[in-house]
Structures are given as structure tokens and as C-alpha cells.
Amino acid sequence: MSPWSGPLQKVDDYRWRIPRSYKSGMRVDGLVFAGEEMITVIKEEQSLEQVANVAFLPGIVNYSLAMPDIHWGYGFPIGGVAAMRLSDGVVSPGGVGFDINCGVRLLRTSLTEAEVRPQIKELVEALYRNVPSGLGSEGKIRLRRGEIDEVLVKGSRWAVEKGYGRHDDLGTTEEEGEMMDAEPEHVSRRAKERGIPQLGTLGSGNHFLEVAVIDQIQDSVIARGMGISQTGQIMLLVHCGSRGLGHQVADDYIGVMVNAMKKYNIDLPDRQLACAPIDSAEGKNYLAAMRCAANYAWANRQCITHWVRESFCQVLKKTEEEAGLELIYDVCHNIAKIEEHEVDGKRVGLCVHRKGATRAFPVGHPDVPSKYAGIGQPVLIPGDMGRYSYVLVGTEQAMKESFGSTCHGAGRVKSRAAAKRELRGENVLRELESRGITVRTGSLKGLAEEASQAYKDVESVVGVAHNAGISRIVARTKPIGVIKG
Amino acid sequence: MKRFELLEHTADTGLIAYGHNLAEAFANAAYGLFSIMAELDGVREVESQMVAVSAEDTESLLFNWLNELIYVFELERRLLKRFDIIEFDERWLKAECWGEKYNSSRHQLKSGVKSATYHMLKIDKDQVRVIFDV
């Protein structure tokens, strides 16, 4: 496929505009957050065409946005953010993606690398054993008949009530792990069938558990506010989503939307953008079902968190209190949410689509947990398994410019096929081990697909988000143990 | 005749499937899908099940057909490798699908496929193109 050759205007060192004059039908300009070198790489594929296509969606305001980790997706680009007016806008399941509420959570510990490293092999082994992972994996949770609906309504709270984790985990989870207006009657029987056996599983692909160590603190005041006090401190990361349940909800409603588009006279350049008015029956039902899938994902990460804590305490022979295992935060990066933002000087209700983008609300925003009211919402950006991950906070600039959103990860540069062709899983494993990273995986091929070389350097991605002002770097972690499905 | 070819897509995987006619291309797309998910050499054709899908048009028929098979794999944990299309028109497909239950001691799974997508989905006379979210 040839490189993208559409018009791109440099706004400043970190911003690029695709003028709406590029294609008739674009309702707003595209705005891409990227550095100069990055944009050269981005133009090699068609993700910028997708930014332009998203600008066709009815009711879109300000810009069709792309975060610095933008890469080629389907319909929406990965790293795409778009907000539609509630009054006349649309909701698009493709703007959320198949893995609804794929997200990340970060737990702090009070232990240091010196205390954990001697037992890292046992720890990684215990995590691999206690958290079901891998392709087609099934969980150990047995739901009673009809209980899946409770999971879909209560999300993390369901898990905590069942003894998975602690009540105070809810306060440090986006939406408190429970999106309101989730209606299980709009989730198909099939989606529930797929979800029931998979609850409490990590899955495969780019999902992972990581034992990490703080290796840099950029802002020590904010870091302390999150319980990050020193380099060498051990952290635990969980990255996963809504499994087959979310995939099925997306499938079901993309089908519904494809048919609804004719009814509502919506014409778009890519069928994967299929959408319906937010206040139509199709739009409302999708949002009600999507919230269920989001809640499922939160329940899933909450159960996994419990087993992560258990494993950690067992191997290191500590109580939870001694280990200081507190949830810093849980963010979701594939979602559509009804939020209020300022557009042309007025507060307006919008449906904000974040497809591979993280919410980044600033100090003082009512949705930021009270614990973080003075520092802003923690933003968790996992990198690839060989390099770093980052902790950032949301900013006022993000509210002004990106509907309170920032990047979500490193962003791929190499296709899975290319990664597998060029890299052998055994070699990737050996290289990681030689750098002091213990890895446990169910699939060596999958490991090659997820090798560092297949990703942009997350440092440059986060650097753009920081320099553009749409979030602020707090600390950096590097992995010492990785579990991949 | 080549049954299918893999397409590279940055985040995902796609394929172009060929056939002497469109029905055969649909069958080969299904074969391609399962060969992304698992090593099919060791899969025996010992049991079959009927799969029927309908849609408003041929693009949606392909989307529904492949997603139906992903659902069958996930729910019944059955690896399929032969797809005898029994009935076929632009909006309806019925097939007898052969394979066997996944057995971790004998079968090797490769990549998880979340869903087929409409992105770049293309139907020609005797070939189809589809990108999967993996």
C-alpha cells in the first residue's frame, strides 16, 4: 500500500492539521498530535485517511483527533478521539472497538526491587498459574444462573462483593468500575454465553501482567500523591478487557448500525464507521450494551487484581498491608462516554469516543477521585514489554483541546505478520531474559508479535503528549517480570 | 489454486480468499480464518455442524459468516477446517462445517481473532478480502 499523500499542515512542533477541504463530506478538520519524525512514519500507512473519514460523522465537534500513538485501525484509527453533540450527533461502535473497555490498572507496593528480584521467577510463575491466560482460556469463576446480568450492571462492585479485592479499589477506578445506565437486556444471549466462561481471564494478544520497577520520577510531588515514593519501588500492571463478551456486543451492534444507516440517511466512506443517532433506539441500545461490556471488563480486572495480590503476598510472604498493595488507578482506553465539555464558549453535552485513547481529566474535575483532587487523574500508559511504561496525569490543556484525552500506549509500527517473520519467539524471550526480564507465556509466536521492535518507542509518544500539554509525565517504570497470554 | 493469502495490516491481520466462484471464496475465507487461529494440519474432520447465516447484502454476509465461525470456535471450542457450502446466494449461506473439538494436547493455537471487520472488506466475482481484529 502506498503512503498517505493527503494534505497535512504543520500547526506547531506537536500538532498537524488535515483541513476539512481535503474531502467533501468532512465536517471538521483533523488534528493529529505528533512530532516531526513520528509523522513521517505515520504517513507510511493509511491512519490519517481514517482521521479524515471520522470527520464525516454527523454531529462531530471541533476536530477529528488523533493521539501520538495513532496507527492504522479499522474504521477509526487506533488513537482516535471524536466527540459528537448529543442533540444531533451519532454514536459509532467502531469508534469504541471490539475490545470494549480494554484498559490498564496499576498497583503500587511498598517493596523494592532488591526485595522482589531474588524471587521474581517464583512470582512470575505464581501469577501465570493463578491468573488464567492465553487463547481460548476459561476462568475459574462459576456464575450462578442469571448472575452474569449482575456482573454487567455492577462491574467492579460485583467482584468486590464476591470477595475479589477491596472496597477502596472502587474509588480509584475510572467510573468507580461501574458505569451507570448499563442494561443487560440489550446484550445478546450470545455475548453473555461468550462472557460467562471467560470472566476472570487475561486473554491473549497484547494483554499482559507485569511486575515493574519505578526507574524515574519526573514529578515527585504528584508521584507521592499516588503512593510512588522512590525509584526501585515495585509496581504491578494489569492490561486486559471485556473478552468475547465485548467482541460480541461490538459485532452485534455494528450489524444493527449498518442497517440503521439507511434508515437515518447516513452515508460514510467506510462501513466500519457504521453509526446511529445517539438518541435513536439503536444508539441508546448500543450505549446500554456497551456499558455492560465496560462493567464486565472492570469486574474482570478486579478479579485478576485479587489473584495478583494473593500471588504477590504468597511468594513474598507478606500480608497485603505489609506489601502496601494499593490500586493507584484503573483507566479504560476503548469507550464512548457522555460528558460535558466546552465548545465555542458553551458547556455542551457530548458523546466522546475514545478508541485507543485514555481519559486525562485535570485537577478539580468532579470525576477525578477525591484522593487525587489536588493532582489530577492518573493516566497509565503501558509501553512494550521490553522497555518502559509511564504514569502521567490529566491536564487543563487536555480539557481545552482533546476532550480530556491523551494517548494509550506505544502504538504498533510493525504488523504482527512482519514481527513473526522477522523475529523468533525463542530469541525474543532470550533477549528479554538477558536484560533481566523474566517472561512466562503460553505462546512463543505471540511473544514475537509483541516484541519491542514491533512498537514505537513509548517514550517518544508520551513525550509528545507531555510537550503538547495534553497530559503530564509523572514517573516511568521498567518491567522485570511479564506474563503474556 | 491458492486458497487464500494473508494480508499485512499494522495492528491486525487480513486475508484475500480465492475460489472458482464466490461460494468457494467464502469457504476459503473460513479456512483462512481458522488457519490464523490454529495449526490446522493436526485437525481431523471427524464431526460436522451446520452453520447458516443471512444478511442484507453480500458484504454483511461475509462479515456475519466469519463472525459466526469465531463464535462457534469460542463457545464450542471446535476447530473447523472443511466448509461444504450447501446453499448460497448474496444474502444467505448454509454450510456443513467439519473439524473437531480443540484438544490442547494435540492442537496448537496461534492467534486470537476478536472479530472480522468491515474495514477494507471487498467482494469480487470470485474472491473476497477481509481484515480481522486480532
pLDDT band with cut points at 50, 70 and 90 for residue B97: very high
Rounded to whole angstroms, the Cα distance separating A134 from A127 reads 13
Q: Are A404 and A365 in contact (CB under 8 A)?
A: yes
First vs last C-alpha separation in chain B: 27
A75 vs B contacts (CB less than 8 Å): 117-119
* pLDDT at residue A430, rounded to an integer: 93
Nearest neighbour of B115 by CB, restricted to A71, A247, A259:
A247
What is the residue whose three cell numbers read 474535575? A365
Of the candidates A248, A250, A271, A138, the one whose C-alpha atom is nearest the C-alpha of residue A192 is A248
Residues of A in contact with B65 (CB under 8 A): none
C-beta separation of A104 from A238 below 8 A: yes
**Does B11 touch chain A if contact means CB atoms closer than 8 Å?**
yes
C-beta atoms of B6 and A417 within 8 A: yes
Give me the residue from A98, A134, A271 closest to B114, CB to CB: A98
- A251–B115 C-beta distance less than 8 A: yes
Q: Is A43 on the interface with B (CB under 8 A)?
A: no
> Which residue in this structure is represented by grid cell 487463547?
A135
Superfamily (CATH) of domain B4-133: Archease domain (3.55.10.10)
Contact A272 B8 (CB under 8 A): no
Closest residue by Cα to residue B107 from B70, B78, B86, B129: B78
Test A445 with B110 for CB contact under 8 angstroms: yes
CB contact under 8 A, A255 and B63: yes
Whole-complex ipTM: 0.89
Question: b/e string for A258-270 if b means 16 or more Cβ within 10 A?
Answer: bebbeeeebebbb
C-alpha cell belonging to residue A333? 482506553
Q: pLDDT tens string for chain A (485 positions)?
A: 789 999 999 999 999 999 999 999 999 999 999 999 999 999 998 999 999 999 999 999 999 999 999 998 889 999 999 999 999 999 999 999 999 999 999 999 999 999 999 999 999 999 999 999 987 678 899 999 999 999 999 999 999 999 999 999 999 999 999 999 999 999 999 999 999 999 999 998 889 999 999 999 999 999 999 999 999 999 999 999 999 999 999 999 999 999 999 999 999 999 999 999 999 999 999 999 999 999 999 999 999 999 999 999 999 999 999 999 999 999 999 999 999 999 999 999 999 999 999 999 999 999 999 999 999 999 999 999 889 999 999 999 999 999 999 999 988 888 887 888 888 989 999 999 999 999 999 888 888 888 898 888 999 999 999 999 999 999 999 999 999 98
Cβ pair A298, A101 in contact under 8 A: yes
Q: Does A149 touch chain B (CB under 8 A)?
A: no
Query: Which one of the listed residues A239, A247, A353, A408 is annotated catalytic?
Result: A408
Q: Cell numbers for A8, please give them.
A: 497535512
Q: Say whether residue B118 is in contact with chain A using an 8 A CB cutoff.
A: yes
Confidence (pLDDT) at A447 = 87
| Residue A167: active-site member | no
CB contact at 8 A, A404 and A339: yes
A93 touches B: beta carbon within 8 Å: no
Residue with cell 515514593: A229
Choose from A69, A190, A251 for mutation: most chain B CBs within 10 A.
A251
Distance from CA of B112 to the nearest CA of A (A): 6
Distance CA A219, CA B104 (A): 48
A210: distance to nearest CA of chain B, Å? 20
Whole-number percent of chain B with pLDDT over 90 = 84
d(CA B81, CA B97): 7
- Domain limits of chain B? 4-133
Give the chain A residue nearest B77 (alpha carbons): A136
Nearest CB among A247, A248, A271 relative to B59 is that of A271
Residue B10 pLDDT greater than 80, yes or no: no
How many Å apart are CA A151 and CA A143, to the nearest integer?
9
Give the DSSP letter of residue A224: H
* Nearest-by-CA chain B residue for A250: B115
Across residues B3-32, what is the average pLDDT? Answer: 92
Return the CATH number of the domain spanning residue range A9-413+455-484: 3.90.1860.10
- Give the C-alpha distances (Å, rounded to integers) separating B25 from A223, B6, B67, B88: 56, 14, 16, 12
How far away is chain A from the Cα of B115, in angstroms, using its nearest Cα?
7
Query: How far apart are the CA of B84 and the nearest CA of chain A, in angstroms?
Result: 24
pLDDT digits (tens, 9 = 90+) for B27-46: 999 999 999 999 999 999 99
Looking at the predicted structure, is the pLDDT value of residue B11 above 70?
A: no
pLDDT at B90 over 70: yes
B58 interfaces chain A, CB cutoff of 8 Å:
no
Domain ranges of chain A: 9-413+455-484
pLDDT tens figures, B40-84 = 999 999 999 999 999 999 999 999 999 999 999 998 899 999 999
Separation of alpha carbons A43 and A53, rounded Å: 15
The answer to whether residues A215 and A478 touch, using CB atoms and an 8 Å cutoff, is yes
Within 8 A of A47 by CB-CB distance, chain B residues are 10
Q: Is B71 on the interface with A (CB under 8 A)?
A: yes
